[in-house]
Structure 1
């Protein structure tokens, strides 16, 4: 029994040493398009990192800059906002409002010294599960190159 415990401990230590650091990502998704795209990716068993935490908002136009800042404050390494393609918004103009809010958010992050590479905004429709998965993977790769985020008092 003692031998088995020692072997198990060695295996655990080896796994901890060889595990690659995975950045934590807060993904703020529009209920009507981007969330449905994420759901499609999950239903189709498309692979994407498990360190993504999804927050569903009624519309990307409601993705308040404070949500993004709070994500960084809570310890996420990156934050992304995904919304409907222009012209496809369930609320007609929500994604146009989102564009303005995103520009304001980017200015705010710059003023606070948060690297622009840690925030990402894209359009993803309900039928774009592949795109959702690819965006998450690419953003994860980008954040891995940057390393853990330490810039905001938690």
Structure 2
């Protein structure tokens, strides 16, 4: 089965969602992403025990930073799903992409100094 999700979704694989760093999330926005979501394993079912809980706390922290910067915190989300839930991953990708489309482009422009 081939999963269909928007072509503008970029998947970055990590061994555990707990490995995502606050700077990774902020850098994604700085580099021009209009929205970012973290897909982690089900709570209580993390191979690394608490990785997904750590990821959830990091996402919530960055959402507060975004809000303080007058950027909609809805541009960042975390979803818990099993690796066996491919169709759910595709559905979340489609729904999140639609949410971001409705919010419009991010006010952050990642202009790099030459």
> How does the TM-score come out when normalised to structure 1?
0.67
CA distance in structure 1 between the partners assigned to 2:69 and 2:107 by the alignment: 13
Unpaired stretches in structure 2, ≥5 consecutive residues: none
Greater share of helix: 1
Distance 1:59 1:112 in 2: 28
Structure having the higher strand fraction is 1
Whose relative contact order is higher, 1 or 2, with alpha carbons under 8 Å and at least 6 apart? 2
CA contact (8 A) 2:6 2:93 kept: yes
TM-score in terms of structure 2 length: 0.89
Among 125, 132, 144, the alignment partner of 2:89 is 132
Query: Counterpart of 1:96 in 2: which secondary structure?
Result: helix
Match of 1:69 among 15, 18, 26: 26
Alignment-derived partner of residue 57 in structure 2: 100
- CA RMSD in angstroms comes to 1.3
Runs ≥4 residues deviating over 2 A = 150-154
The gaps in structure 1 that reach 5 residues or longer are 1-43
1:65-119 deviation per Cα after TM superposition (whole angstroms, max 9, x unaligned): 1111101111111111110111111111111212221221211221222211211
What is the count of residue pairs matched by the alignment? Answer: 111
